[in-house]
Amino acid sequence: MLTKVLPVEIRGRTTGFQRMIENLELATTSITVDLLYTGLSPANSLFAPGLVGLVAVAYAVYVYRNVAK
């Protein structure tokens, strides 16, 4: 997709920036998972992301219904 949208001159820099952001997200996610694992116990750390996901889906449905009107 980037190759179709961006001019040839900035494709390399843009791809590098995208990869840098992905690595920062990965590091942040690793720290968050580590905190969940050590703070909640291994079993509970598996249920917490599911609960967060359900809340996020419920919020997305709520926003979609209010914006779609």
Give me the mean pLDDT over the 2-7 stretch.
74
- Check residue 25 and give its pLDDT: 94
> 18-65 pLDDT, tens per residue?
899 999 999 998 998 888 888 888 888 888 888 889 999 999 999 998
Residue of 54, 59, 49 whose CA lies nearest to 29? 49
Whether the CB-CB separation of 6 and 14 falls below 8 Å is answered with yes
Residue 35 domain boundaries: 2-67
Whether the CB-CB separation of 35 and 43 falls below 8 Å is answered with no
- Check residue 22 and give its pLDDT: 95
- Check residue 1 and give its pLDDT: 66
Position 68 confidence tier, pLDDT thresholds 50, 70, 90: low
- How many domains, in total, are found in the chain? 1
